[in-house]
Amino acid sequence: MKIFTVKEMVAAEKAADAAGHSYADMMETAGRGVAEAIIARQSVEDLAVLALVGPGNNGGDALVTARYLHWAGAKVICYLWRKLDPQKNPNLQRALDEGITVLNAEDDQRYRVLRLRLTGVDLVIDGLLGTGVSRPIKDDLAQLLRQVKAGLGERARLAAEAQEKSRIEAGFEVSLTPIKPPEDPSPPWQPQVVAVDCPSGLNCDSGQIDPLALPADLTITFAGPKRGHFLFPGAGACGKLIVADIGIAPKHTAAVPFALPTVEDIRSMVPARPADGHKGSFGRVLIAAGCDQYQGAPFLAARAAFRSGSGLVTLAVPDQLRAAGVVSLPEATYLPQLEQERHLTAETARVIVDELAAYKALLIGPGLSTAAAPFLKALLPHVNDHPVVLDADALNILATQESWPDQLPSQAILTPHPGEMARLCGLSLEDLLTQNRFDLALEKAVAWGCVLVLKGAYTIVASPSGRGWVIPFANPLLAAAGSGDVLGGIIVSLLGQGATIEQAAAAGGYLHGLAAEKAIPHFGRSGLLAHELADWLPASRNQLDGKRSK
């Protein structure tokens, strides 16, 4: 499933039209797709629907949606931001022919009719502006959106007051059984807002969103998501995101570099678990990490590696960390003859080099300390063709050195969070946050010759081949110390089991996010510890393996 820039989407639609799949056909399919997504989620019989219709293609999609909802039994009103000529707009003419009420904002003095209609509406369809809009909302559209927001707010307030009054009159009921939160966090009395392709005012390339934009509970986009659906702050206004197929053939999107991996994609990236396998079958991996200040990081990474399926995990840690490791993770083994320093040194690197042939993959960096720079300098030239994940302080050490990309092994995965990425790029964090994450990740992955995992809400994985993936999870449970160490452990584990660096990075990011999603019913949105996150990994992997074809 490709993720488009606005320019890429326009090109794909143009190519499809030239191949005989007309714009009119795509609009009909798009509107039907929006209606079907709504019908699949709620009964629309007698549902009061207000479709906000713009003058462009987005408005055309909304008119088609209105027609299909009307056929399904909904009570639909189309409210036109600007007057349209039915003789030049066949979808408007068809709506009128079907008996759908059509109102014009230009004829609605002080938006009195709009406000009246909003008091009884159950569903608002936002079809005002499409994906190609990048200018601020102003003038008459700004006034219209202010009225819609105020009307929905008043409707919600009155309904909430009525619900509270009813609850008080009925008396309070005390229950000792924890109440499971509803899947949809919107209060049941709040009218649902459905955005056609994107909330009006969302810049679908940058993720910036106009202050007047109407936040959606559900967004139905076409052919594939747009980048702005995964870039904050706009991503936070999209609600649930659904992709509707509008018949654009894969050959018309082949050049689009970014994709959203499906469950089937990830399943194909995760190495299989044969019934006759043994611990050696699933890879021996080495984790070089930790110092006196960050003693837990190596064990979080190792725990995640085991939970992700590694058969053997060896730790290279300062000697003073071993005793705690034996207690917290007795399954791990350790390199011999390590010195008594508080951090890893060049001597440790020489021991690893001597033992390197025994390991299928390496993870270097969690809790390492920048004092371990001599260790990294002594080790990297000897890693050669071994797959290696460089994380945390390994990245911070590299960032201090000139021409550091030249030091990278041929199969390197870098896993920076935004602060580490800023240091690698030679930018301030403030400047980095102004960059488009998609473009930056892809540009640097190609320039540095590595797979880059740019962590954050909707983590981006970019390959030196010029392709990339977006991991479809944005979960505040992952905003906890040690979460990145767990991710490093997952990725090195998959490398050890035989995944390529591209597969391990994408599948590792996906399993990491899926583990946090599975924890939500138990933890809500906060309080999950990193070692608990690691313990959810078998359930995440089982979700993939359990559906694997035998």
Query: Residue 273: which pLDDT band, with cuts at 50, 70 and 90?
Result: confident
Tell me: pLDDT of 358 over 80. yes
With a CB cutoff of 8 Å and minimum separation 6, the contacts of 119 are: 151, 154, 155, 158
Percent of the chain topping pLDDT 70: 93
Does residue 190 have a pLDDT over 80? no
In sequence order, the 6+-apart residues with CB closer than 8 A to the CB of 381 are 407
Q: Which residues, other chains included, contact 516 with Cβ-Cβ below 8 Å and sequence gap of 6+?
A: 473, 475, 477, 478, 528, 533, 536
Q: Could you give phi then psi for residue 369, rounded to 5 degrees?
A: 80, 140
Per residue in 40-67, pLDDT tens? 999 999 999 999 999 999 999 999 999 9
Per residue in 492-544, pLDDT (tens digit) is: 999 999 999 999 999 999 999 999 999 999 999 999 999 999 999 999 999 88
Domains, the chain, ordered by start: 6-130+137-163+187-255 (3.40.50.10260), 263-545 (3.40.1190.20)
> ω into residue 233 within 30 of 0, thus cis?
yes
Q: What is the pLDDT of residue 257?
A: 98
User: Contact at 8 Å (CB) between 54 and 131?
Assistant: no
Got the DSSP string for 283-312?
-EEEEE--BSS--SHHHHHHHHHHHTT-SE
pLDDT tens digit sequence for 90-116: 999 999 999 999 999 999 999 999 999
> 3-state class of 517 per DSSP?
helix
Handedness of CA 168, 169, 170, 172 (dihedral sign): positive
Q: What is the DSSP string of 27-46?
A: HHHHHHHHHHHHHTTS--TT
User: Predicted confidence band at 365 (pLDDT cuts at 50, 70, 90)?
Assistant: very high
- Residue 546's pLDDT is 67
Average pLDDT, the chain: 92
Helix axes 501-523, 483-496, angle to 10 degrees: 140
Tens-place pLDDT, residues 336-348: 756 678 999 999 9
What's residue 341's pLDDT? 82
Provide the pLDDT for residue 281.
78
Q: Which two tokens stand for residue 416?
A: 């920076």
State residue 174's pLDDT score: 40
- Following CA atoms 226, 230, 236, 238 in sequence, which dihedral angle do they give, to the nearest 10 degrees? 30
Looking at the predicted structure, is the pLDDT value of residue 191 above 70? no
**Summary count for the chain: helices (H), strands (E):** 19, 17
Give the pLDDT score at 256: 98
- Mean pLDDT calculated for residue range 117-143: 94
d(CA 107, CA 424): 57
171 has a pLDDT exceeding 60: no
Question: Which residue has better confidence, 358 or 323?
Answer: 358
**Position 178 pLDDT exceeds 50:** no
Burial label for 223, CB within 10 Å (0-12, 13-18, 19+), is buried
pLDDT over 90 at 208, yes or no: yes
State residue 167's pLDDT score.
58
Mean pLDDT score, 276-301: 92
- φ/ψ (deg, to 5) at 246: -120, 20
- CA-nearest of 295, 482, 288, 300 to 372 is 288
What's the rounded mean pLDDT across residues 220-245?
Answer: 96
- The identity of residue 109, as a single letter, is Q
The predicted-structure confidence for 445-486, as pLDDT tens digits, reads as follows 999 999 999 999 999 999 999 999 999 999 999 999 999 999
Query: Residue 494 in contact with residue 413, Cβ under 8 Å?
Result: no
More confident residue, 383 or 185: 383
d(CA 302, CA 299): 5
pLDDT more than 90, % of the chain: 84
**220 beta partners:** 196, 242
d(Cα 470, Cα 475) in Å, to the nearest integer?
14
Q: How does DSSP assign 486-498, residue by residue?
A: HHHHHHHHHHHTT
Task: Give me the mean pLDDT over the 163-192 stretch.
Answer: 52
